[in-house]
Amino acid sequence: MKRRTFLAASAGAVTSALTGALGLPARAQPDRSLRDLAEARGLVFGAAAATYMLDQPDFVPVLRRQVRQLVPEYEMKRQFLEPRRGRYDFAALDRLFAFAAASRMSMRGHPLVWYASNPDWLEPALTARRDETLLTGHIQAVLGRYRGRMASVDVVNEAIAPDGRGLRPSPWLSAFGPGYLDTAFHAARAADPAVKLVYNDWGCEQGGPENDRFRATTLKLLDGLLARRVPVDALGLQGHLNAFQNRVDQRKLRLFLDEVRARGLAILITELDVYDGDGPADIAARDRAVADETRRFLDVALDNPATRAVLTWCLSDRHIDPPEEWRLKLTGFRHRKLPYDAQMRKKPMWDAIAQAFAGRRVP
């Protein structure tokens, strides 16, 4: 036992012996945080957050205690950073960086290059002139500003087609062909030599035929990057799971992650949440299913020594995008996809994550 741990343990024993002897009620020991449980197993636990959440006084202390790494839910999307061409507004993203620094948290960046959430001017500009600086200039602007301050960054997000058949149509693909990925990663490495460069996508977790294709296409994409000596450090597995249908295929996931590790890449779980929209109205039943699917996924993902981080896509059900309006009005149905409920109470998903962390073999 480390000295510090030993001292803490003996202090705890003395305290409980005293309170017992004096007939005082034992003061509840605060539970260990997900942050600490992860750290004890060589992992980083984090969550997506947005600036508006930092104004919620019952939320911020929980975020600070539980989370070791933040990722911006919106604030790094180009639509918000560069609403008018060449006129960057970093105010919101700066605020998240400052909050993280003041809260002993690291930051991860998401995303630099994506087909979605771009400003309206971007696609016509790319079509008019295939100007590569529209790609590289943005990467330079963002990574240059936060150089040395991000642990990892999603250089390219969701480049694979949803059916897993090759690359997804996007303004980047139309303007520059498949080489846009290489260009983006090289530009990112040039702008920040230290940040871990991530290819981030969904579609590799479940068992359907489109997921089989997705996994094959992902490995092919990574192999191409590595063969061309493109600087890619990690695969980001978003981890958008479903509690009631198309569940994780543990065997296929394990084999896939072994393949990723064999290529020398790290694995990050970047956007974990569990869709419960196909479940019953009964909240307890949904919470159980969400927790169960979380555990099935994490048990496999964390068994791979290349897995370094788990981030949930927000921390509280309060911050989930609202369900379809008709559904809310007809049934009052609200999603419950995250470790905390809307009142900041821990849910079974929190316990599932904690147990998965505790069960991880230290690599």
| Interface positions, 235-264, toward ligand 9MR (CB under 6 A) | 238
Q: Is 77 among the residues that bind ligand 9MR (CB under 6 A)?
A: yes
Q: Which residue is nearest to ligand 9MR (CB)?
A: 117
CB of 146 to ligand 9MR, least distance (A): 18
Distances, alpha carbon 146 to alpha carbons 78, 194, 244, 282, 311, in Å: 15, 11, 40, 45, 20
Provide the minimum distance between the beta carbon of 48 and ligand 9MR in the complex, in angstroms, as a whole number: 7
Closest CB 22 distance from ligand 9MR, rounded Å: 51
Q: Where are the alpha helices (DSSP H) in the chain?
A: 3-21, 34-39, 60-66, 78-81, 91-102, 122-128, 133-145, 171-176, 180-191, 209-227, 250-262, 283-303, 325-331, 348-359
Give the β-pairing of 234-237 and 266-275: parallel
Cβ proximity to ligand 9MR, 73 vs 299, nearer residue: 73
Q: Scanning residues 318 to 347, which ones bind ligand 9MR (CB under 6 A)? A: 321
> Measured from the CB of residue 99, what is the shortest distance to ligand 9MR in angstroms?
18
Residues 54/67, Cβ–Cβ less than 8 Å: no
> ∠ at Cα 248 (242, 253), nearest 5°?
145
DSSP per-residue letters across 45-94: EEEEE-GGGGG-TTTHHHHHHH-SEEEESSTTSHHHH-SBTTB---HHHH
Residues in 87-116 that interact with ligand 9MR by CB under 6 A: 116
Shortest Å distance, C-beta 72 to ligand 9MR: 9
User: CB-wise, 37 or 218, nearer to ligand 9MR?
Assistant: 218
Reduced to 3 states (helix: H, G, I; strand: E, B; else coil), residue 205 is coil
Candidate residues 15, 51, 56, 117; the one interacting with ligand 9MR per rule CB under 6 A: 117
Q: Is 73 in the site for ligand 9MR (CB under 6 A)?
A: yes
Scan residues 129-188 and list those touching ligand 9MR (CB under 6 A): 157
- With CB under 6 A as the rule, give the number of residues binding ligand 9MR: 9
Q: Which is nearer to ligand 9MR, 322 or 332 (CB)?
A: 322
First to last CA, the chain: 18
- Is the CB of 114 or the CB of 180 nearer to ligand 9MR? 114
| Shortest Å distance, C-beta 161 to ligand 9MR | 15
Whether residue 267 contacts residue 260, with contact meaning beta carbons closer than 8 Å, is answered with yes
192 binds ligand 9MR (CB under 6 A): no
The continuous run of DSSP H or E covering 196 comes out as: strand 196-201
Among 192, 271, 276, 293, binds ligand 9MR (CB under 6 A): 271
Contacts to ligand 9MR by CB under 6 A: 73, 77, 116-117, 157, 238, 271, 313, 321
